[in-house]
């Protein structure tokens, strides 16, 4: 079959898995990217290196789904659901992966159980959530439903981006005229205007760095930057006003 099997009793990892040179290259490349590449690239560029430049779902969202980007829900309720949903999916796939890895070394699950776990996740998450809802509901929920509410890769990248990355969207609140263009066209459901009005940098795990908020701002308030990690998450301006209260920074 063209797969090299080393001499011996046939119980080596290579013979058991049937991997050739190309197979091992793919595995090693995946491990290096997962443990090193993802961290380094996200540190310098934020999650946009993957979500906007590599991912096929992101490419579909920014082409076929682009006319519906304004449909994304910007409410706090949607943000709460987003955080619960995406980290739940991350937790589920992490548990399934861990169980399958343990079973690979110490078999304790039957083929039926493993098959049900794989096919169940593939159907419910891969097919229904990422496929039917993630793309079919563009006109109702916006273009980044899967990326925002379900993608486990986006969840991991978002954690790194929020706490360890150089990437941020900086704001000049003094120039904001509250037109709302930035929030309207944010496909990730971020109320960008609320940050801009307060002069706060936008450092959100969900931001994919598409840059549309900056492009549609008529005053040049928003800028995508890669800067020092210190003080990325800035506080309120000395005096800031919102709909319900006045906050004074002492």
CA pair distance 109, 89, nearest whole angstrom: 22
Report pLDDT for 3: 46
CA distance 93 to 141: 24
Q: Among 99-113, 127-141, 189-203, where is mean pLDDT lowest?
A: 99-113
Reported confidence tier of residue 110, pLDDT bands at 50, 70, 90: confident
Instruction: Quote the tokens at residue 56.
Output: 């096929």
Average pLDDT over residues 165-191: 92
CB 212 within 8 A of CB 171: no
Q: Is the pLDDT of residue 237 over 60?
A: no
pLDDT number for residue 63: 92
pLDDT digits (tens, 9 = 90+) for 27-52: 899 889 888 999 999 999 999 999 98
Band (pLDDT 50/70/90 cuts) for residue 227 is confident
Instruction: Give the 3-state DSSP-derived string for the chain, with helices as H, strands as E and coil as C.
Output: CCCCCCCCCCCCHHHHHCCCHHHHHHHHHHHHHHHHHHHHHHHHHCCHHHHCCCCHHHHHHCCCCHHHHHHCCCCHHHHHHHHHHHHHHHHHHHHHHHHHHHHHHCCCCCHHHHHHHHHHHHHHHHHHHHHHHHHHCHHHHCCCHHHHHCCHHHHHHHHHHHHHCCEEEEECHHHCCCCCHHHHCCCCCCCHHHHHHHCCCECCCCCCCCCHHHHHCCCCCEEEEECCCCCCCCCCCCEEECCCCEEECC
Q: What is the pLDDT of residue 7?
A: 47
pTM over 0.95: no
Within 10 angstroms of residue 84's Cβ, the number of other Cβ atoms is: 11
Please give the pLDDT value at position 78.
95
Backbone angles phi, psi at 71, to 5 degrees: -80, -10
What is the average per-residue pLDDT within 196-221?
A: 92
Work out the mean pLDDT of the chain and round it to a whole number: 85
């Amino acid at each position: 079959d063209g797969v090299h099997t080393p001499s011996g009793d046939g119980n080596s990892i290579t013979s058991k898995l049937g991997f050739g040179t190309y197979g091992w290259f793919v595995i090693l490349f995946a491990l290096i990217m997962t443990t090193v590449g993802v961290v380094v690239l996200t540190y310098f560029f934020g999650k946009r290196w993957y979500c906007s430049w590599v991912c096929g779902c992101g490419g579909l969202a920014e082409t076929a789904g682009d006319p519906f980007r304004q449909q994304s829900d910007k409410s706090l309720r949607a943000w709460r659901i987003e955080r619960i949903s995406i980290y739940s999916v991350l937790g589920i796939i992490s548990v399934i992966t861990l169980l399958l890895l343990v079973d690979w070394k110490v078999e304790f699950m039957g083929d039926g159980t493993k098959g049900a776990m794989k096919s169940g996740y593939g159907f419910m998450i891969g097919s229904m959530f990422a496929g039917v809802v993630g793309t079919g509901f563009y006109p109702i929920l916006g273009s980044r439903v899967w990326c925002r509410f379900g993608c486990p890769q986006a969840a991991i990248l978002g954690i790194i981006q929020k706490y360890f990355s150089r990437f941020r969207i900086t704001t000049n609140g003094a120039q904001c005229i509250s037109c709302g263009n930035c929030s309207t066209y944010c496909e990730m459901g971020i109320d960008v205007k609320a940050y801009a009005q307060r002069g706060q940098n936008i450092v959100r795990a969900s931001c994919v760095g598409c840059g549309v908020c900056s492009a549609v701002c008529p005053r040049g308030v928003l800028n995508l930057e890669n800067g020092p990690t210190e003080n990325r998450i800035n506080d309120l301006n000395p005096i800031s006003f919102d709909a319900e209260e006045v906050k004074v920074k002492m």
